[in-house]
């Protein structure tokens, strides 16, 4: 399983290029930090990688990637459902029996340092706990490609540090993980780095 971009470039009609000539090969077991200045196209590139949008130029090849997971900047959960419920549900949807699903969900919550809040309703969680829960739920869904958009943007430094610790635990042999971030600590929590500043279109490159 892998994902490759070949001479990838994108711009919106009548607007300058966001990036051009992006060549990359992404593989499971790695966590890729996607960085760049505001307006450089980080969220747009996530959408292209997911197949939700088509690039202006170049191509993206997805080999063996099935389900795509996405963790947004602001965590969204069911207010009165427990943390354990949120992680159990995608495991049940995959066909596991309730007892096995709950056991695996409990193990996943432990990986993300959420065991102590497993029985807490989502509405009672702190911002950092809710964000880590979204990461845990995403992994429980067993995506081939997991896209994470600015996971620490709304968090204070101590809370962001705990989320970054959770990001270090995202690497699995069955999932390619891409994390768009402005946070240098989040970048350093990843195994690899894609800097969109390296692929900015130069003046006059308007073909």
For 125-154, how does the pLDDT look when each residue is reduced to its tens digit (9 = 90+)? Answer: 999 999 999 999 999 999 999 999 999 988
Q: Please report whether residue 71 resides in a domain.
A: yes
Q: Is the pLDDT of residue 205 over 80?
A: no
Burial 144-170 (b: 16+ CB within 10 A, else e): bbbbbbbbbeebeeebbebbbebbebb
Contact 140, 84 (CB under 8 A): no
Q: Please report whether residue 104 resides in a domain.
A: yes
Q: Please report whether residue 86 resides in a domain.
A: yes
Q: Could you give the number of structural domains in the chain? A: 1
Q: Please report whether residue 205 resides in a domain.
A: no
pLDDT tier at 202, thresholds 50, 70, 90:
low
pLDDT > 90: percent of the chain: 88
Q: Please report whether residue 175 resides in a domain.
A: yes
Q: What are phi and psi of 129, to 5 degrees?
A: -65, -40
Q: Please report whether residue 43 resides in a domain.
A: yes
Q: What is the spatial distance between Cα 120 and Cα 135, in angstroms, rounded to a whole number?
A: 17
Nearest CA to 136 out of 181, 91, 183, 74 is that of 91
Taking each helix axis as running N to C, give the angle between helix 127-140 and helix 157-167, from 0 to 180 degrees, rounded to the nearest 10.
10
Pairing of strands 57-63, 176-180: unpaired
Q: Is the pLDDT of residue 201 over 80?
A: no
Q: Is the pLDDT of residue 207 over 50?
A: no
For 54-109, how does the pLDDT look when each residue is reduced to its tens digit (9 = 90+)? Answer: 999 999 999 999 899 999 888 999 999 999 999 999 999 999 999 999 999 999 99
pLDDT at residue 89 in the model? 97
The sheet with strand 57-63 has its strands ordered as 17-26, 2-11, 57-63
For 1-41, how does the pLDDT look when each residue is reduced to its tens digit (9 = 90+)? Answer: 999 999 999 999 999 999 999 999 999 999 999 999 988 99
pLDDT at residue 101 in the model? 98
DSSP one-letter code for 200: P
Q: Please report whether residue 178 resides in a domain.
A: yes
pLDDT at residue 90 in the model? 96
pLDDT at residue 33 in the model? 97
Q: Please report whether residue 98 resides in a domain.
A: yes
Nearest CA to 151 out of 43, 39, 53, 28 is that of 43
The CATH number of the domain holding residue 54 is 3.40.50.300
Q: What is the mean predicted confidence (pLDDT) over 181-186?
A: 95
Q: Is the pLDDT of residue 173 over 70?
A: yes
Global pTM reads 0.90
pLDDT at residue 204 in the model? 42
Residue 146: CB partners within 8 Å, gap ≥ 6? 68, 69, 70, 71, 138, 139, 170, 175, 176, 177, 178
Contact 181, 35 (CB under 8 A): yes
Domain membership of residue 184 as a residue range: 2-199
């Amino acid at each position: 399983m892998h994902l490759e971009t070949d001479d990838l470039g994108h711009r919106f009609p009548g607007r300058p290029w966001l990036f051009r000539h992006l060549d990359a090969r992404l593989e499971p077991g790695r966590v890729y930090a996607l960085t760049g200045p505001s307006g450089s196209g980080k969220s747009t590139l996530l959408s292209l990688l997911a197949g939700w949008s088509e690039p202006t130029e170049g191509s993206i090849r997805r080999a063996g990637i099935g389900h795509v997971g996405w963790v947004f900047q602001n965590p969204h959960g069911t207010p009165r459902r427990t943390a354990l419920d949120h992680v159990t549900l995608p495991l049940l949807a995959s066909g596991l029996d309730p007892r096995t699903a709950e056991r695996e969900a409990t193990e996943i919550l432990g990986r993300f340092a959420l065991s102590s809040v497993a029985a807490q309703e989502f509405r009672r969680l702190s911002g950092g706990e809710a964000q880590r829960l979204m990461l845990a739920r995403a992994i429980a869904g067993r995506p081939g490609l997991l896209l994470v958009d600015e996971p620490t943007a709304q968090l204070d430094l101590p809370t962001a540090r705990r989320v970054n610790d959770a990001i270090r635990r995202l690497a699995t042999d069955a999932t390619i993980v891409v994390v768009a971030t402005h946070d240098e600590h989040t970048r350093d929590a990843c195994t690899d780095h894609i800097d969109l500043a390296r692929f900015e279109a130069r003046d006059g490159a308007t073909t």
